[in-house]
């Protein structure tokens, strides 16, 4: 007998992940069997009503069972996202876990209140260090054009403390796997009085929106009473 634990596998980082594709295939197979047992066709009103309810349950199950990894790995892959607001150049370092945003660091691209990275740098790693006194430090590592590893130490010291604190808040909801479209809404709803911080907020929205996929939108959409939708993504 299959249970929800039957669909849990080990991810690239060794953390358990839920295999949504396998789960969907089993749901479709179960739907076919149930409809056939009742002697109905897929477009029968009863079958369509059954399909709509099944879609609702599947949507809730797959959307509400994200993998939460509270213990951050020592090193995370990172995307470098550049944007411009109010004629200022900004950079966002988006730490990824299993390909999904897990944390974000943002700031100006300058020597005084941020960092300057070569334009060729689009990826790297964010490495967490725990000092002897228990304090934490995050470094950004990347390879330059010659293949040499370059490290920017102490991201928290490189960026404005106000941006750093807001970024910690956003990273917190990302780590607990709040759906990205909701994270973007949360960021856009922040009521900030400082014009510069509002520009930062817009940049964070842009940085995170690039990770929202059509599947994310479908997961939060209201299911339609059409059995054919069960087969749309199989």
| pLDDT tens digits, 157-214 | 777 777 777 888 888 888 888 888 888 888 888 776 667 677 778 888 888 998 987 6
Segment 7-32 mean pLDDT: 67
What is the average pLDDT score of the chain? 76
DSSP-based three-state secondary structure for 166: helix
For residue 217, is pLDDT > 80?
A: no
Segment 71-85 mean pLDDT: 89
Residue 49 has a pLDDT of: 74
For residue 102, is pLDDT > 80?
A: yes
- List, in sequence order, the alpha helices (H) in 108-179: 155-158, 161-175
Q: How confident is the model at residue 15 (pLDDT cuts 50, 70, 90)?
A: low
Q: How far is CA 228 from CA 1, 19, 29, 165, 183, in A?
A: 26, 22, 13, 46, 31
Residue 226 has a pLDDT of: 46
Judged on CB neighbours under 10 Å (0-12, 13-18, 19+), 161 is exposed
For residue 221, is pLDDT > 60?
A: no
Number of residues assigned to the chain = 234
Structure tokens at 32: 């076919």
Neighbours of 6 (CB within 10 A): 12
The pTM score is 0.63
Sign of CA dihedral 201, 202, 207, 212: positive
Residue 56 has a pLDDT of: 65
CA-nearest of 124, 105, 114 to 204 is 105
CA-nearest of 8, 137, 159 to 93 is 159
Helices H, strands E: what count in the chain?
7, 8
Segment 36-47 mean pLDDT: 72
């Amino acid at each position: 007998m299959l249970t929800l634990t039957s669909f849990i596998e080990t991810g690239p980082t060794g953390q358990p992940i839920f295999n949504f594709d396998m789960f969907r295939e089993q749901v479709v197979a179960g739907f076919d069997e149930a409809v056939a047992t009742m002697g109905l066709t897929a477009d029968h009103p009863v079958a369509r009503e059954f399909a709509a309810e099944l879609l609702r349950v599947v949507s809730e199950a797959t959307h509400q069972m994200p993998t939460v990894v509270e213990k951050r790995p020592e090193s995370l892959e990172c995307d470098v996202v550049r944007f411009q607001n109010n004629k200022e150049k900004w950079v966002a370092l988006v730490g990824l876990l299993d390909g999904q945003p897990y944390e974000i660091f943002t700031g100006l691209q300058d020597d005084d209140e941020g960092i300057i990275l070569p334009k060729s740098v689009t990826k790297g790693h964010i490495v967490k260090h725990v000092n002897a006194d228990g304090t934490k430090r995050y470094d950004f590592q990347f390879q330059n054009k010659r293949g040499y590893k370059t490290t920017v130490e102490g991201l928290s010291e490189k960026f404005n403390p106000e941006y750093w604190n807001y970024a910690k808040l956003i990273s917190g909801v990302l780590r607990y796997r709040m759906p990205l479209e909701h994270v973007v809404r949360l960021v856009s709803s922040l009521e900030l009085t400082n014009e510069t911080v509002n520009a930062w907020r817009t940049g964070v929205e842009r940085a995170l929106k690039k990770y929202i996929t059509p599947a994310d939108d479908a997961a939060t959409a209201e299911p339609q009473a059409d059995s054919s939708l069960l087969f749309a993504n199989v």
